[in-house]
Amino acid sequence: MKLAYLVNVYPKASHSFIRREIVGLEELGLEVVRISVRPPATDLVDARDREEARRTHVLLSGARVVASTARTLLTHPFAFLRGLRAALRLGRRSDRGALMQLVYLAEACALVELARREGIRHVHAHFGTNPPAVCYLARELSGLSYSFTVHGPEEFDRPGLLKLADKIEGARFVAAVSEFSRSQLYRWCPHEAWQKIHVVHCGVDELFLGGTPAPIGAAPRLVCVGRLCEQKGQLLLVEAAARLAREGTPFELVLAGDGELRAPIEAAIARHGLGERVRITGWISNERVREEILAARALVLPSFAEGLPVVLMEALALGRPVISTYVAGIPELVEAEVSGWLVPAGDIEALGAALRAALGATPAELEALGRRGAERVRAQHDARREARKLSDLFRRAA
């Protein structure tokens, strides 16, 4: 079976879970065509991501999109009108408006031509924003079937404006990355469509699952891995770290990642005099992420909004406990006092207490937490096992 994966930007540093998913499907005999709406990121540090970029088709090329739209209008005028009506319907009271839906229609024309040329039978989109809108319009143009994975939190911030119910109605199936995500989709579509929605977890591969977890050292080091942005909570993490420093608690904190909030975070680090204690790495490869996690006593991710962060799976798979928040699907993976610590999102006092607990625990206590977390990851988040679920869904869909 030949299918396509459609992502807004692919590959990029934060989408390693999509690459793992594709690899798992290919190992099961499916042929997967990678399609990125926009050109791949230019700051790729992982060799596997750079290889993925070379294999990826870019949909939003001005000349290609214009030519595909013109050909569709000339050769399939009734199908084009059907797609135009659907685009205008999606644009009504949407977050992007009718004009942007017309851009999606042009992208859908290019997607349909690519699918015909490559012999693609089905398209799977990641994220419930514009990629499934393009797929929905491609279906109106040609009958091309599609499905998509919903992660959150963006889809749940504005489900009506994103026309989530329409996208679900047009899809053969929808994958949710957690039970929480599935419950939110239930809220925004008719109950008759609930049977389309399946939980398929994001997963980790042998880079994290392989081998016995390394022992935890005595160094008071913590690591936070993720895009530097408001919803990940790194600014509050720096504030909590500053309180620990004022108390005289020894620690080192590594912020692995980059993003739009880097400058304010660096300013907060300087303001609190934490330059010797807090380090920002910028974007790093999966191998470097693994090294940073293994060098730490625990991973910290004090997010305000999430789907189900893959980095929590990675840390637990490596035998490192995690500190995170009672947000979305996180409590489905992290058990408080069993595989780590959970705190209310935005609560600096509770976050500081969890940091103290992780820094004060013995290596043996931390390793016990990590072992229990690794067992849960192996049971629920093995990328190959989740790929088999998707493969079955794709074969039924096509």
Q: Do domains 2-203+382-397 and 207-380 have the same CATH topology?
A: yes
pLDDT band at 60 (very low <50, low <70, confident <90, very high): confident
For residue 110, which phi and psi values (nearest 5 degrees)? -65, -40
379 contacts 189 by C-beta, under 8 angstroms: no
Is the pLDDT at 159 greater than 80? The verdict is yes
Q: What is the mean pLDDT of residues 91-116?
A: 92
pLDDT given for residue 46 in this prediction: 86
pLDDT at 62 over 80: no
Q: Which of 205, 169, 204 is nearest to 185 (CA)?
A: 169
CA distance 328 to 307: 6
Closest CA to 143 of 117, 120, 176, 162: 120
Instruction: Give pLDDT, residue 97.
Output: 81
Mean pLDDT in residue range 286-291: 92
Please provide the size of the chain in residues.
398
Which residues does 373 contact at the CB level (< 8 Å), separation at least 6? Answer: 315, 316, 317, 319, 320, 321, 322, 334, 335, 338, 339, 340
Task: Give domain 2-203+382-397's CATH superfamily.
Answer: Glycogen Phosphorylase B; (3.40.50.2000)
Instruction: Assess if CATH 3.40.50.2000 describes domain 207-380.
Output: yes
pLDDT band (50, 70, 90) for residue 106: very high
- The pLDDT-based confidence of 286 (bands split at 50, 70, 90) is confident
Q: Is residue 61 predicted with pLDDT exceeding 90? A: no
Q: Are 140 and 174 in contact (CB under 8 A)?
A: no
Q: How far apart are CA 391 and CA 200, in angstroms?
A: 11
- Distance CA(98)–CA(89), nearest Å, equals 8
Q: Dihedrals φ, ψ of 252, to 5°? A: -130, 135
The tokens 């995500």 sit on which residue? 181
The number of beta carbons lying within 10 Å of the beta carbon of residue 165 is 16
Chain Cα centroid distance, residue 324: 17
Token duo for residue 269? 């680090």
- Cα 215 from Cα 143, distance rounded (Å): 54
Runs of H (alpha helix) within the chain: 16-27, 47-54, 62-75, 77-91, 97-118, 130-142, 154-157, 164-170, 179-187, 206-209, 234-247, 262-271, 286-294, 310-317, 330-333, 348-360, 363-380, 383-397
* pLDDT tens-place string over residues 334-392: 999 999 999 999 999 999 999 999 999 999 999 999 999 999 999 999 999 999 999 99
Give the full edge-to-edge strand order of the sheet including 56-58.
56-58, 31-38, 2-9, 122-126, 145-150, 174-176, 197-199
pLDDT in tens, 213-242: 889 999 999 999 999 999 999 999 999 999
What are the domain boundaries of the chain?
A: 2-203+382-397, 207-380
Q: Say yes or no to pLDDT of 397 above 90.
A: no
Q: What is the pLDDT of residue 93?
A: 81
